[in-house]
Structure 1
Amino acid sequence: MKNREIIRTSLAIYLPSLLVQLGASLTMSFNVLWSRDLGAGVAMIGLIAAGNGIGSLLFDLPGGWIGGKIREKPFMIAAVGGLVLTGIFKAAATRPWQLLGIGIFMGMCVSAWGIGRLAYIRKNIPRRYRGRTLAFMGGIMRVARIATPALGGLIIQFLGFRVLYGVQAFLFASALVLLLVMMKDGSYLESGQAPAASVLKETFAKNGRNIVAAMIGIGGLQLLRISRNLIFPLWADSIGMSALLIGGFTSAGGMVETAMVVPAGITLDRAGRKWAAVPCTLGFALSMALMPLALTPAALAGVYLLMSLSNGLGSGINMTISSDLAPKNAAAEFLGIWRFVTDTSRLTGPLIAGSVAAAVSLPAAPLTAASAGLISAAVLLFAMDEPGRKRQMPARNRQKPSRNMDAPGRSRQMPGRDEQRPGRINQEPGQKNQSPTSPD
């Protein structure tokens, strides 16, 4: 594939992804406030906040199956079209239960969008460029999360919640237009090609240990990432930091992670996926383990810097490893299974951290997360092979050249047992060798 074609294919994904992420991040911090204004109680607010995760988890497996039956482009168009509807419906909502239903539906659309996007990249971007492509995708997500919350707050302050969700619908609609215009069609299941179930069965039979190890390792990393959103603010508040300072730390950390996008992509493609995944998970776990020792804002700043550097090194690692392991002829189905595992980790992470903090103590929560991270790093290091690279044949099994083939002046073929040698005649077994000139 030519570089120009790779750039065009990447832009067809990058630009819609940027607009989708801008739309999602614009309202992420304000969904709870909108549900409160509509009269939701504390329990209902919690359900609404979990709606996206519930919808995504419910749709991961069926979404992978559906995505494998149709082309990637119409699948992504349907997903982003659904996101447009969620923005419109949220702007028009009048009851909290409506927001819950919309949130679940939005999670289903996000799942479909993620599966279709990765399946498209898996089929259209060569492996040697895939790490940089997906690391940059992770950078797009981080930039959107830094830029849009402040804009969302300004819109609410001067125009209200309904305008905010109207702007979100507009951003999603713009992404939909770009998909229609820029993205080339994918491919249907070719005639004579094995069905997806057979391909998946063969993939897990041949590479099951590696896939399970990768799922455990990346699932642990996802648990660390989502737990940070709960543990860091609670710990910062416990040592007396203000909300303004906590927000400043979060924004600065996002900038550090964004700056790590290019080194992360180069590491993924040139050194290998494990060289990014293992240091990322190990550094993240170490920073979690150090958090109970950070008793001043300055000390916590150092811990959070290490955490951000580590997480930035893993930019795009989840998408890259999953697309590497996905079989080309059943990519969507495989990615649906992968998302189900990682989404389960994302849902359970805050539950585990919150339960440990409530039942034991707040310092025990980051230590528990750190333990999970260390286990994940060990699994990635020792149990997972480098994804997408074939194992080298052991030296003892490699065919060595024959000594006769290497020696100059010698015949390349050993004489057979029954071949006539100079000065001898063929004889029956048991007879003595006779010279052709010897008398009878």
Structure 2
Amino acid sequence: MVYLPTILFALGEGAVIPLIPVIAANMGADVASAALVASALVIGQLCGNLPAGWAVARIGERFTMVIAGVISIGAVVGMVLAPVLAVFAASVFLLGFCAAAFGLARHAFMTTRVPVAFRARALSLLGGSFRLGVFVGPFVTAALLQVFGDEHAAIWFFLGCLIVMVVLVLFGPDPEKTTPPIASNSTLAEDSGEAVTGSIPTIERVGIFRTMWQYRGVLGRLGIAAASLSGVRSARQVVLPLWGVSLGLDAQTIALVVGVSGAIDFALFYASGQVMDRFGRLWAAMPAMVLMGIGFLVLSFTHDGDSAVLWFGMLAAVLGVGNGLSSGILLTLGADTAPKQEPAAFLGSWRTLTDAGGAVTPLIVSGVTAVASLSVASGVIGVVGLLGALGFIRWIPRFSPRPER
């Protein structure tokens, strides 16, 4: 009941994402417009985090997920039946908006109910559930295209996943009732993992913007480092395909290189949680950022060399390792720094900040490439990665895990 709804949503979304620009192009969009329609998913998720935090704080994780699922069903139907490109783009935006609510609801649930002693492993599994959908979804899409020959088949598949998910969440056992919150005064050393018994004290609800102001120190320091990690991750998805194109590689070779990098990334998601729980959050975040930062920097010097294709494959694997080692770190750091009783409002702010890093970075890559070159853009991302590693070194000891106040 915790992980299966997440897998269903991520599997359907992962099947649809590769086809969004294709369907937009079939509806008459040029390349730039198709890219804008595809980015509506990320923009919707960015805009949905703060309202999702408000909703989870007031109606709970379960009903937030049900409402988000029902609205997502409407958005998917809109994608199938959209008569014009504008309606299709609006449906994609609404889907991203609901994805933010769904993700934050599960994040808040894990934050309040998973003991600190194995929080990172639990959240790495949650992150791995999303990665599973993104990894397997395109293969599902390929199979559906082979059978039906219509891009909309993947959208109907997503609709089926959403219906099953809503029924499961609505009528299945409620994890919020079967798993009471952990004691608010538990620490890493004292946490036994036992459920809390008795009544939970009533506390004052704090609004979204008041929470942002109250925790501005965490958001302005550790949050910026986390946003840089999200940005470097996002850059990997943009730079690697563009690098392959600039080297003159065919689509199959590029897909193979990117696929191997993604497979390495997916294979390491649980190892990241083990490292964080055993040795501390820094020992997952810092090596991941250093690996990706150095990977992008080295890549920026290899474009015109004799072994450019070999370097491309090797460094794509390095970036996959770095990204895999960081699996779950943003979820875990958000849970570590969130207020113990009412984390949803803080997590909405946290996820908005990290999603903003991921949304802005492709624009930076595009702008730097237009002004200078793709090699320079790769170097810039490498520098961002190394600066982010320094930020983690400076701020994780202070904020993760956060001492009780």
TM-score (norm 1): 0.81
Q: Which runs of 5+ in 2 are unaligned?
A: 182-198
> How far does residue 19 in structure 1 lie from its aligned partner after superposition?
0.8
- Amino acid in structure 2 at the alignment position of 1:196: V
Which residue of the other structure, out of 18, 22, 34, is the alignment partner of 1:45? Answer: 34
Residues 1:299 and 2:311 are matched in the alignment: yes
- Amino acid in structure 1 at the alignment position of 2:176: D
Which residue of the other structure, out of 352, 356, 366, is the alignment partner of 1:354? Answer: 366
Give the aligned partner of residue 318 of structure 1: 330
- Amino acid in structure 1 at the alignment position of 2:357: S
For each residue in 1:377-412, what CA deviation from the matched residue of structure 2 results, as whole angstroms up to 9, or x when unmatched? 1011023326443669xxxxxxxxxxxxxxxxxxxx
Maintained 8 Å contact 1:142/1:254: no
Work out the CA distance in 1 between the residues paired with 2:206 and 2:3.
28
Residues 1:172 and 2:182 are matched in the alignment: no
Give the aligned partner of residue 221 of structure 1: 229
- Give the 5 Å matches for 1:178-197: 178-180=168-170, 181-185=172-176, 192-197=202-207
Structure 1 pair 248–334 and aligned structure 2 pair: CA distance change class (3 A): same
Residues 1:334 and 2:346 are matched in the alignment: yes
Give the aligned partner of residue 381 of structure 2: 369
- Give the 5 Å matches for 1:20-419: 20-159=9-148, 160-180=150-170, 181-185=172-176, 192-197=202-207, 208-294=216-302, 295=305, 296-385=308-397, 387-389=399-401
Work out the CA distance in 1 between the residues paired with 2:297 and 2:141.
34
> How far does residue 262 in structure 1 lie from its aligned partner after superposition?
2.6
- Amino acid in structure 2 at the alignment position of 1:234: L
- Amino acid in structure 2 at the alignment position of 1:185: E
Structure 1 pair 199–122 and aligned structure 2 pair: CA distance change class (3 A): farther
- Amino acid in structure 2 at the alignment position of 1:183: D
- The SS at the match of 2:367 is helix
Give the % identical residues. Answer: 25
Work out the CA distance in 2 between the residues paired with 1:88 and 1:114.
21
Maintained 8 Å contact 1:86/1:105: yes
- Amino acid in structure 2 at the alignment position of 1:133: A
Maintained 8 Å contact 1:91/1:163: no
Maintained 8 Å contact 1:31/1:49: yes
> How far does residue 76 in structure 1 lie from its aligned partner after superposition?
1.2
Structure 1 pair 70–100 and aligned structure 2 pair: CA distance change class (3 A): same
Work out the CA distance in 2 between the residues paired with 1:62 and 1:50.
20
Work out the CA distance in 2 between the residues paired with 1:54 and 1:366.
23
Structure 1 pair 348–126 and aligned structure 2 pair: CA distance change class (3 A): same
- The SS at the match of 2:97 is helix
Structure 1 pair 182–249 and aligned structure 2 pair: CA distance change class (3 A): farther
Maintained 8 Å contact 1:90/1:102: yes
Maintained 8 Å contact 1:200/1:334: no
Work out the CA distance in 2 between the residues paired with 1:111 and 1:391.
28
- Amino acid in structure 1 at the alignment position of 2:155: Y
Work out the CA distance in 2 between the residues paired with 1:263 and 1:73.
29
Maintained 8 Å contact 2:336/2:401: no
> How far does residue 127 in structure 1 lie from its aligned partner after superposition?
1.3
Maintained 8 Å contact 2:40/2:96: yes
> How far does residue 370 in structure 1 lie from its aligned partner after superposition?
0.9
After TM superposition, the structure 1 stretch with the greater mean CA deviation from structure 2, 176-185 or 299-308, is 176-185
Moved over 3 A (4+): 41-44, 185-192, 197-201, 207-211, 386-392
> How far does residue 80 in structure 1 lie from its aligned partner after superposition?
1.8
Maintained 8 Å contact 1:281/1:377: yes
Maintained 8 Å contact 2:281/2:396: no
TM-score (norm 2): 0.87
Work out the CA distance in 1 between the residues paired with 2:386 and 2:112.
33
Q: Which runs of 5+ in 1 are unaligned?
A: 1-11, 393-440
- The SS at the match of 2:397 is coil
Work out the CA distance in 2 between the residues paired with 1:378 and 1:226.
19
Work out the CA distance in 1 between the residues paired with 2:7 and 2:218.
32
Maintained 8 Å contact 2:72/2:95: yes
Maintained 8 Å contact 1:85/1:169: no
Work out the CA distance in 2 between the residues paired with 1:276 and 1:370.
18
- Amino acid in structure 1 at the alignment position of 2:167: V
Work out the CA distance in 2 between the residues paired with 1:261 and 1:222.
15
Give the aligned partner of residue 188 of structure 2: none
> How far does residue 321 in structure 1 lie from its aligned partner after superposition?
0.7
Larger radius of gyration: 1
Work out the CA distance in 1 between the residues paired with 2:391 and 2:377.
22
Root-mean-square deviation (CA, aligned residues, Å) is 2.4
Maintained 8 Å contact 2:54/2:208: no
Work out the CA distance in 1 between the residues paired with 2:293 and 2:269.
20
Structure 1 pair 388–358 and aligned structure 2 pair: CA distance change class (3 A): closer
